[in-house]
Amino acid sequence: MPDKDYHHGDLRAALVLAALERLEAGGAAALSLRGIARDCGVSAMAPYRHFADKDALLDAVAGHGFQELARCLEEADATAGGREALAAQGAAYVAFACRHPALFRLMFMAPRRSSDGSAAYAILARRAAALAGPGQSAGDLTLAAWSLVHGLAALILDRRVPLEPGEVDGVARRITLAFARMTEGPTVG
């Protein structure tokens, strides 16, 4: 094994990981490119060999987050079927946001450029669309379901709704489930 002092095995991955750690520890304010580089034991300019600029690194971090979110949704979806599966996904979505608030904000709440979240969206969409009753638009239903859980997560994160940590899961599950029941009610037109 060579010296490893100059060339860093896999700096790109190390940078993303360090950024994630900083994010969990100190929030978005702690995300300085120089700091991240320092954490990796590397100079301030080294990241530019792997990312065009700071935003590009942040995009990679967000991408990591989306993968993890998709994993969580998939896992939750497998625990039940039908409407209950949708409720489980809703609760998992909110739980993810609460577990990684700064990451969640980074993923969504910045004028990002790319950071594809379609994988996570697809998992939720599959469940939601299957619930569409006659005369209900599957597209609208999916969008509504996503909006509901996303908005709930965002409001909780911003302390806009006074909820104890212990209540969050129950509320998310209840609301999502009630929403899912909407599909058996009277339909439009």
Partner DNA sequence: GCGTTTTGTTTACAGTGTCAACATCCATGC
Partner DNA sequence: GCATGGATGTTGACACTGTAAACAAAACGC
Residues lying near DNA in the complex (CB under 7 A): 2-3, 5-9, 11, 31-35, 37, 42-46, 48-50, 53-55
Through-space distance between the first and last CA atoms of the chain, rounded to whole angstroms: 71
In the window 8-47, what residues touch its own copies (CB under 8 A)? 27-28
Q: Quote the Cα angle for 81-86-92, to 5°.
A: 115
> Which amino acid type is present at position 103?
L
What is the distance between the alpha carbons of residues 149 and 93, in angstroms, rounded to a whole number? 7
The answer to whether 99 contacts its own copies (rule: CB under 8 A) is no
Residue 110 zone, left/alpha/beta (φ > 0; ψ -120 to 50; rest): beta
Using only C-alpha atoms, the chain has a radius of gyration, in whole angstroms, of: 20
Task: Pick what 152 binds: its own copies, DNA, none; C-beta below 5 to 8 Å, kind-dependent.
Answer: its own copies
The answer to whether 184 contacts its own copies (rule: CB under 8 A) is yes
Task: Pick what 79 binds: its own copies, DNA, none; C-beta below 5 to 8 Å, kind-dependent.
Answer: none
Whose Cβ is closer to DNA: residue 3's or residue 164's? 3
- State the minimum distance, in angstroms, from the CB of residue 80 to its own copies: 17
Residue from 120, 110, 113, 98 nearest 31 by CA: 110
Task: Pick what 55 binds: its own copies, DNA, none; C-beta below 5 to 8 Å, kind-dependent.
Answer: DNA
- State the minimum distance, in angstroms, from the CB of residue 59 to DNA: 12
